[in-house]
Amino acid sequence: MSLKRRIALTLSIAFSLLFGIVMAVIYMSFNDFRKDEFKERFRQRLEFTSHFIAKSKDFEEEAPIFFNENSDNILLNETILIFNAEKELIYSTIKDRNVTWDTSLLKELDEKKIVYSEKTVPEIYAALRNINGENYYILTSAYDTNGNSKLSYLKYLLITAYVMSTLLIGFLSYYVMGQFLKPLEDLNVEISEVTAHKLTTKIPVQESNDEINVLAQSFNTMITRLDDVFQSQKDFTASASHEIRTPITRMAFQLENLIKFEQHSPETLASLKQIQRDVYQLSDLTNSLLLLTKFDKENIQSIYEEVRIDEVIFESFEAVEKSYPKLRMSFLISEDTSEDALLTLKGVQSLLDIVFINLLKNAAVYSDDTEVDVIIKETSEHLIVDVISHGSTISEEEQEKLFDAFKRGKNSQNISGSGLGLRIVKRILEYHGAKITYTSPADLLNKFSVIFNK
Query: How far is Cα of residue 214 from the mean position of the Cα atoms in its chain?
Result: 27
Give the model's pLDDT for residue 200.
Answer: 63
For residues 187 and 184, give the distance between their C-alpha atoms in angstroms, rounded to a whole number: 5
C-alpha distance from residue 89 to each of 86, 94, 106, 252 (Å): 9, 12, 11, 132
Give the model's pLDDT for residue 431.
Answer: 82
Query: How far is Cα of residue 311 from the mean position of the Cα atoms in its chain?
Result: 43
Which of 66-80, 198-212, 354-368 shows the lowest mean pLDDT across its residues? 66-80
Does residue 323 contact residue 283 with C-beta atoms inside 8 Å? no
For residues 392 and 387, give the distance between their C-alpha atoms in angstroms, rounded to a whole number: 15
Q: pLDDT digits over 126-162, tens only?
A: 888 888 888 888 888 888 878 888 888 999 999 998 8
18 or 337: which leads in pLDDT: 18
Residue 88 amino acid letter? E
**H or E, element range at 382:** strand 382-390
For residues 418 and 449, give the distance between their C-alpha atoms in angstroms, rounded to a whole number: 22
Greatest mean pLDDT range, 239-248, 270-279, 304-313: 304-313
Residue 165 pLDDT more than 50?
yes
Q: pLDDT digits over 272-308, tens only?
A: 777 877 777 777 667 666 666 665 555 666 677 888 9
For residues 212 and 206, give the distance between their C-alpha atoms in angstroms, rounded to a whole number: 9
Mean pLDDT of the chain: 78
- Beginning with the edge strand found earlier in the chain, give each strand of the sheet holding 435-439 in spatial order: 328-333, 371-378, 382-390, 445-453, 435-439
Whole-model pTM above 0.85? no
256 or 64: which leads in pLDDT: 256
Give the model's pLDDT for residue 301.
Answer: 65
Give the model's pLDDT for residue 370.
Answer: 80
The residue-averaged pLDDT of 204-229 equals 75
| Angle, CA of 322, 328 and 329, to the nearest 5° | 105
Residues in the chain, how many? 454
* Confidence category of residue 387, pLDDT binned at 50, 70, 90: very high
- DSSP characters over 246-292: HHHHHHHHHHHHHHH-S-S-HHHHHHHHHHHHHHHHHHHHHHHHHHH
The residue-averaged pLDDT of 183-202 equals 66
